[in-house]
Structure formats: C-alpha cells, structure tokens
A and B are shown apart, each in its own frame.
Chain A
Amino acid sequence: MSNTPKQTEKLPWKCGKCGGELERGLVKASYLGNDFEVQELKCLNCGLVLITEELALGKMFEVEQSLEDK
C-alpha cells in the first residue's frame, strides 16, 4: 500500500482500547471460511488491529467480493 507507514516512522495512531503503540505485523483474517494473513497495524499491548475506513471499503471489500460466489 502506497500510504503504508514505514517501520521507522512515528505512527499517528494509538490503540483506542488500551492506548498502546501500534506496529505492522501479520494479522489473521477470515471470511466465509477462508483464512489468510495480511500485514496490518496492530496494538503491541492488546493486539487490537487497525482497519481504516479506506481499507474496509476498498481492498478488504474487494477480497470479500472475490470470495463470494455468484
């Protein structure tokens, strides 16, 4: 993703649940019985994953559609 922050960059996000720092890492996602791993930002402390609106309505939605039959 072109807007993905680099590891070294200071992230503008803090975890909304526990206030912890976020870091990019592999995240397990599942849809209609299909499991896969993707790189996303997650809380180092509690593991909460950040899914931006842009991602949910964009690439994530595209993946969902790819997994839906006609």
Chain B
Amino acid sequence: MKVREGSLTSTTESLCPECLRKIPAQREVQGENVYLVKRCPEHGEYRTLIWHGSPQWASWVRPTIPTPPKECFTQVDKGCPFDCGLCADHYKTTCTALLEVTQRCNLNCRFCFANAGTELDEPSLKVIEGWYKNVLAASGPVNIQLSGGEPTLRDDLPEIIEMGRRLGFNFIQINTNGLRLAEDSPYLSRLKIAGLSSVFLQFDGTEDQIYQAIRGRQLYDLKVKAIENCAEHGIGVVLVPTLIPGINTDNIGGIIKFALKNHPAVRGVHFQPVSYFGRIPQEPLDEDRITLPEVIQAIEKQTEGLIKAENLKPHNGRCSFSGSFTRRADGSLKPILNNSCCERPERADELARKTRTFVARQWSGPELFKVQTVKDNPGDSWDNLIQQLKTYAFSLSGMAFQDVWNLDLERLKNCCIHVVSPEGKLIPFCAYNLTAKNGRSLYRKGR
C-alpha cells in the first residue's frame, strides 16, 4: 500500500467491499482529512473519507479497557468480524440490544437497513422471549430497542413490551417512523400501559421536501402529530435524523430548534450520518458522506452559537458524540460539564453501564413533565430539584454507523449496540447490517 508523503498513519483491519475478505487498512491523516485506505489483492485500492475538520481526529478519543461479554454465544474461530455472537474477543458489553420484531414496513425508503417481509416471517412471542433471555445472559437487563421493519405494524407490540418489562428490562424503546403513533392514539395508550419508555422517532427534518426525497412521502405533519400524541401520554421522544449531504444537512439547526420548541416531550436529538448498505451500483463518493466533526460544526453554526462544538464530547470513541444540557427559562442551554470523560482509560463495562443509565434517564418519558414550583412544594426542594433536572435536561448525540467502505474493525470490536439475530446471537449493529457492494450480507439471512 502506498503511504503518501507527509501523512500520519495508523493501522487497522477492514473488509474488501467486493469480496468481504479481511484486509489490512490504514487511517491516513492528511491535513483536515482522515481517510481509511485499504487494498484487496484481487479488487484493488479503496480510499474513503472518515473524518473532516475540527474537532481533530487525534483529539477525539475515549480510551477504554476491554471487558468481554458475560456469556459468549460463539467461539473465536475465524476472527473479527466473522465470529459475532458476541465472541470473547469483543471489547464491550451491550448498551442497547436491538430486537427486530418484524421486517414489514409501511414506508419504502431510499436509505434503510431493514429488509422487507410478511407477517408470516415474524418471530412469535415465544421466540422473542428467548431473545430477551439471551440478552439477559450475555449482558444483563440492558436497554432494549424494539426495531424492524416498522415495529408498530405488530398489534401485539404491547405484549412484547410487557414481556420485556416482566423479565426485568427497565428501559424499552421503539424505533419507529411514527405513522401509527400519529394516527392511532388508543394503540399508543396500550404501549404506554405496557411499559414503553421512549420513542426513537425517525425525523429527518422540518421540511416536507426532505421527507419526499428520503422517504418518498410528505411526512412532516404526521411527525408533529406523533410527537403531540407521545407528549399527551408522557412518552419521551428522541428525534433521529438520518443526515444525507445535499438533502437535510442544512436543516440540522432547524431540527434542533424544533426539538427545543417541543421539549420536554422531545428529550433530545440523535443524528445518524448516512451510511451505505444494500446493493450500491457505484461506490459512494466522499461528497455523499458527512463525518462526525462536520455534524458537530454544523450544530454550532446552524444554532447560531446556542450550542458550542466544545460542549460535545466523544462517547463511544470515534463512533459517536454526545452532549447534555439543561434548558433555562430564557431558552438558552446550559451545558452539563463532563469531567469524567476522556482523560483516564475507563473499563468498557463501566462505560456501557454509564451509557445505559444516562440513556434511560434522559430519553425516558417523564411522568415528570409537570414541574412544581418551590411555592407549591416549599418543604422539599431536593425533590423539586431532581424533577427539574430531569425534565429540563436536553441531549444531543450522534452516531456514525460503518459500512463496508469505511469499516474499521477496531471500532467494530468496541461496539455496544447489538442486534439480536433470529438465532438469538448478539451481533454488533454495523456487522449485522454490513453488505458487500453487490448487496450480499455478512450476517443477515436472505440477502
């Protein structure tokens, strides 16, 4: 592999986008840019932008001491990423376990990890119970995200949530496009009664042309309605935009302002820069990507300084950022300082535990929307303070998923978002969704 003059490099491993064989890779720093450069002996060189601008690549680290899963469902055999289950070589226990409860969907999006399917392919409650139990064995009562497909197409979703709560999972979230939540309030009520904590709402922007471009339909009014309904039921909402250059990257500030306008029902925004899965006729260009520092810069610029880049910190290494704030009465945001981050190495299981606790606290729907004034409750201002801190907390975060072009196996080993496969194995999110250029999947069946 050619190393360009004047560049700093570090080594890792990746896969060939054509044949999925494991190949050596280098992270090459060139000025403001960092590239992942790799060469397959058969299919040639690939060079993908993975970082652009400030905060600098070198500064964005969160040193972690690996801690393996409590119970491994696969043996180390061929090496990462071919033994996922999790295997004993995985660095981090689960923060969030994803259960795909259906592959059906009521949208047909350009950018989607999900498959298509029929009702007949759906896992039964008994199968889902087995998945929950495997998650408990491997990682304990971690945060659960029920995903799909579109999970709200299942009429028995309340039963699935109730079962999870009964088995000891305290934070259960659904990953949804919100269509049914907008239109079927009794269903939302059943979800709430069953123990739903939070809605991870696909929310790509505040303009209908964005939805038209990405989702093929104008959906803005439905999203607003879904949020209103969740607020009425005391269910917390996290807005989740998929950021696609040229489509909604100019709307980042608009999304944050919308979130604050709908706070405290909206608990935060979680940005997901687009990644490329499925059959891709052409290799994605660097212009087709937005890297994490570009998202961070856009947040500062487009919120006119309401949020500063320096208030956002690395979370899961170079996969993510996060910042938490308290909203003041005048609409400004006070950053919550994070002294515990990024100086000394942290145990991976401790970091995963902190993440779970933070997510469960921040993203849950407050029964706490009503904050008492000190006048109403003069005798107990600690309770009031706790309630205010919870209710007025607002979070911004982002996670960059990896595709076959920018895959860095060091990052993959550090992943704490794990999908439960139909066989009940826990597979890191980016490995589970990874596909070769021709659409062939590393892990998903039927692709």
Contact = CB atoms under 8 A, between A and B. Distances in A.
Nearest to B361: A66
Given A69-B336, A70-B355, A59 B383 contact: yes
Contacts of B323: 69
Given A32-B339, A68-B338, A59 B379 contact: no
Contacts of A62: 386
Contacts of B334: 34
Given A4-B380, A69-B313, A70-B355, A32 B386 contact: no
B361 A1 contact: no
Given A67-B336, A67-B389, A60 B355 contact: no
Nearest to B393: A66
A8 to B, nearest CB: 13
A33 interface: yes
Given A32-B336, A67-B336, A69-B340, A4 B379 contact: yes
A39 interface: yes
A36 B385 contact: yes
B194 interface: no
Given A4-B379, A39-B379, A62-B386, A68 B340 contact: yes
A59 B382 CA distance: 7
B385 A70 contact: no
Contact of B389 (A1, A37, A63, A70): A63
A4 B378 CA distance: 11
Contacts of B355: 70
A32 B337 contact: yes
Given A32-B337, A33-B337, A65 B383 contact: no
Interface in B307-356: 313, 315, 322-324, 326, 334, 336-341, 354-355
A34 to B, nearest CB: 7
B381 A39 contact: yes
Contacts of A66: 361, 386, 389-390, 393
Nearest to A37: B381
Contacts of B382: 1, 38, 55, 59-60, 63
Main secondary structure of the interface of A (DSSP, over half): mixed
Interface residues of A, number: 20
Interface string A20-36: 00000000000011101
B82 interface: no
B108 interface: no
A39 B381 CA distance: 6
Interface size class of B (residues with CB under 8 A): 20 to 34
B313 A63 contact: no
Contacts of B358: 69-70
Contacts of A34: 326, 334, 336-337
B357 interface: yes
B80 interface: no
Interface in B368-413: 378-383, 385-386, 389-390, 393
Contacts of A4: 379-380
A69 to B, nearest CB: 4
Interface in B409-443: none
Contacts of B313: 69
Nearest to A69: B338
B385 A63 contact: yes
A11 to B, nearest CB: 15
Which of A39, A60, A69 neighbours the largest number of chain B CB atoms within 10 Å of its CB?
A69
Contacts of A70: 315, 322, 324, 354-355, 357-359
A59 B323 CA distance: 24
A4 B324 CA distance: 32
A66 B358 CA distance: 8
A1 B341 CA distance: 33
- Interface core residue of A4, A36, A37, A66 (most chain B CB under 10 Å): A66
A69 B383 contact: no
Nearest to B353: A70
A52 to B, nearest CB: 11
B327 to A, nearest CB: 13
B428 to A, nearest CB: 19
A63 B379 contact: no
Interface string A40-70: 0000000000000001000110110111111
Q: Which 5 A-B residue pairs are closest in the complex by CB-CB distance?
A: A70-B358, A69-B338, A66-B389, A59-B382, A38-B381
Given A39-B379, A39-B380, A62-B386, 18 more contacts: A1-B380, A1-B382, A1-B383, A32-B337, A34-B334, A38-B382, A39-B378, A55-B382, A59-B383, A63-B382, A63-B386, A63-B389, A69-B313, A69-B338, A70-B324, A70-B354, A70-B355, A70-B357
10 contacts: A32-B339, A37-B381, A55-B382, A59-B382, A59-B386, A66-B389, A68-B336, A69-B322, A70-B354, A70-B358
